[in-house]
Amino acid sequence: MGAIKGFLEFDRETPAHRDINKRLKDHKEVYEPFPEDKFRQQGARCMDCGVPFCQSNSGCPLGNLIPDWNDMVYRGRWEEAVELLSKTNNFPEFTGRICPAPCEGSCVLGISEPPVTICKIEKKISDKGFKKGFIAPCPPTKRTGKSIAVVGSGPAGLACAAQLNSVGHSVVVYEKDDRVGGLLMYGIPHFKLDKKIVKRRINLMEEEGIQFKTGVNIGVDITIADLRKKHDAIVLCGGSQKPRDLPIEGRELDGVHFAMEFLPQQNKRNEGDVIPEDIAITAKGKNVLIIGGGDTGSDCLGTSLRQKAKSVRQFELLPQPPEERGENNPWPQWPKVFRVTTSHEEARREITDYCVSTKKFIGENGKLKKIQAVRIRFGAPDASGRPSMEEIPNSQFELDVDLVLLAMGFVHPIHEGMIKEIDVKLDARQNVACDKNKMTSVEGVFVAGDMSRGQSLVVWAIAEGREAARGVDQYLMGTSTLPHSEFL
């Protein structure tokens, strides 16, 4: 443990946000620099608990050695902190920026005080590691002669590739988009994760010997059958990419789009691409409605504000979360409480309407003009245990809207293409089924990330990718020295 009374002497403190007026004029990350001595103070707040729930199943699925590297940060021993963090997490520079930090929700100090600033400390460790050269290419000393294809270059695919390469297997990562990174590149805005951070890691992985092939859609450009001839094993890491739709009257109108049609275009623009006018989706000068109140909806809000939307509103079907944990949401569970994201902070006012159900899209000459919605309330649970939902009488209303962004989550992987071709078994939720070693119903074909788990967090995707790598290594070599996750 660092400072014996650290959690008594120092309050929780995080980096300040850049001025709203300035950050709305660019797509740079939103946080101001934070002095090193402040990070050391925050590391001192860690209590070195007898049972550190932060690295339990309810906290970090990677099993990050959080109290240990917090102590190293407090003592200024950055190289050791990097070494400890790298044992369990392949990409702390990603999780330190975009993970919602379930570890902090499980922090023992968080029972009575604000929790330790774990996520921002993790980011600082990784940034320090790259700056000082503690994080550097480390190619394997010898190769096994085995070749693995990883399909998809999101966090699960990258973690799986990194782990397999570390024990000497030859790895080729196939990506259907024109750039590597999957969700990291085209799903998350630059203001949350600067793409130079993603490219820096990809360059390091290439120096370690991993091959990346972009613009290759497995199941379309190359069949799974051909891929199996080239490689000794395949790992499917294509994500959960089928968005939840809203099939109501007027859904076909021009102006109603999925969030993941909208967000990647801005990321491409930020990378210097020109989006053809006939397919461009922009919020500039428009009345925008975002349907869905999660992270993706927040990303749509921040992006719309930067594109200079005329107005932005957001609908959420569920009630507003409470300010504090409810009785049915005890520690160390993830606290389901009301939060203000940086994007909502930028809106400068409350723009979310809770308990609203959209009933109809209304247009003229094929273009969206307004929506019709109704307010709802939740009652006693039904036979399935879910709260019953009913419309409030005479609560219908209309809203002038030019652009609707559907940000209601994802239901399962896209089945057309490689999944249909390989005829792999699916689970009850239509995700790819697998055994405890992450192997699918087809021998030699493994799966990881959202494709098997369903829509989840980047930290779970990394954990899944690492576990799949262990399964592949054991399948090919009969044994494996790669770590096993007790949480999967």
> pLDDT tens across 52-73, in order?
999 988 899 999 999 999 999 9
Q: Which of 58, 129, 55 is nearest to 90 (CA)?
A: 129
Q: Provide φ and ψ at 185, rounded to 5°.
A: -90, -45
Rounded Cα gap, residues 45 and 9, in angstroms: 8
Q: Provide mean pLDDT across the span 440-466.
A: 97
Domain boundary residue among 92, 108, 132?
Answer: 132
Crossing angle (nearest 10°) for helices 66-74 and 36-44: 130
Do 446 and 394 sit in the same domain of this protein? no
Domain boundary residue among 105, 132, 159?
Answer: 132
pLDDT in tens, 334-385: 999 999 999 999 999 999 999 999 999 999 999 999 999 999 999 888 878 7
Q: Which of 122, 185, 119 is nearest to 158 (CA)?
A: 185
Structure tokens at 487: 């949480």
Structure tokens at 43: 């590391």
Check residue 380 and give its pLDDT: 84
Render the burial of 40-49: b for 16+ CB within 10 Å, e for the rest: bbbbbbbbee
Burial tier of 340 (Cβ tally within 10 Å: 0-12, 13-18, 19+): exposed
Residue 111 located in a structural domain: yes
| pLDDT higher than 90, residue 47 | no
| pLDDT higher than 90, residue 206 | yes
Where residue 2 falls among pLDDT bands split at 50, 70, 90? low
Residue 142 located in a structural domain: no
Q: Using an 8 Å Cβ cutoff, are 159 and 461 in contact?
A: yes
Helix ranges (DSSP H) in 375-457: 418-422, 450-453
Residues 6+ apart with CB under 8 A from 320: 338, 352, 354
| Residue 250 DSSP SS3 | coil
Residue 137 located in a structural domain: no
Do 296 and 383 sit in the same domain of this protein? yes
Residues 6+ apart with CB under 8 A from 467: 438, 448, 484, 485, 488
Q: Provide mean pLDDT across the span 439-456.
A: 97
For the chain, give the number of residues: 488
| pLDDT higher than 70, residue 1 | no
Do 200 and 324 sit in the same domain of this protein? no
Residue 1 located in a structural domain: no
Rounded Cα gap, residues 105 and 114, in angstroms: 10
Where residue 323 falls among pLDDT bands split at 50, 70, 90? very high
Do 163 and 273 sit in the same domain of this protein? no
Residues 6+ apart with CB under 8 A from 134: 78, 79, 82, 83, 128
Rounded Cα gap, residues 256 and 288, in angstroms: 10
Do 63 and 183 sit in the same domain of this protein? no
Do 179 and 328 sit in the same domain of this protein? no
Burial tier of 240 (Cβ tally within 10 Å: 0-12, 13-18, 19+): buried
Q: Provide φ and ψ at 118, rounded to 5°.
A: -65, -45
Do 124 and 17 sit in the same domain of this protein? yes
| pLDDT higher than 80, residue 283 | yes
Q: Using an 8 Å Cβ cutoff, are 458 and 152 in contact?
A: no
Residue 456 located in a structural domain: yes
Crossing angle (nearest 10°) for helices 458-477 and 155-166: 40
Do 15 and 118 sit in the same domain of this protein? yes
Q: Provide φ and ψ at 404, rounded to 5°.
A: -115, 130
Q: Provide mean pLDDT across the span 431-446.
A: 97
Check residue 4 and give its pLDDT: 80
Q: Provide mean pLDDT across the span 250-269.
A: 98
Check residue 5 and give its pLDDT: 85
Residue 258 located in a structural domain: yes
Overall domain count for the chain: 3
Structure tokens at 370: 């307004």
Do 236 and 311 sit in the same domain of this protein? no
Structure tokens at 385: 């245990």
**229: CATH:** 3.50.50.60
- Give the range of the structural domain holding residue 19, as residue numbers without chain letter: 6-132
Would you give the DSSP letter of residue 54?
A: G
Residue 482 located in a structural domain: no
Cα(first)–Cα(last) distance of the chain, in Å? 29
Q: Provide mean pLDDT across the span 442-462.
A: 97
pLDDT in tens, 190-202: 999 999 999 999 9
pLDDT in tens, 119-153: 999 999 999 999 999 999 999 999 999 999 999 99
**84: CATH:** 1.10.1060.10
Question: How many other CB atoms are there within 10 angstroms of residue 183's CB atom?
Answer: 23
Q: Which of 392, 366, 367, 399 is nearest to 378 (CA)?
A: 392
Q: Provide φ and ψ at 218, rounded to 5°.
A: -70, 130
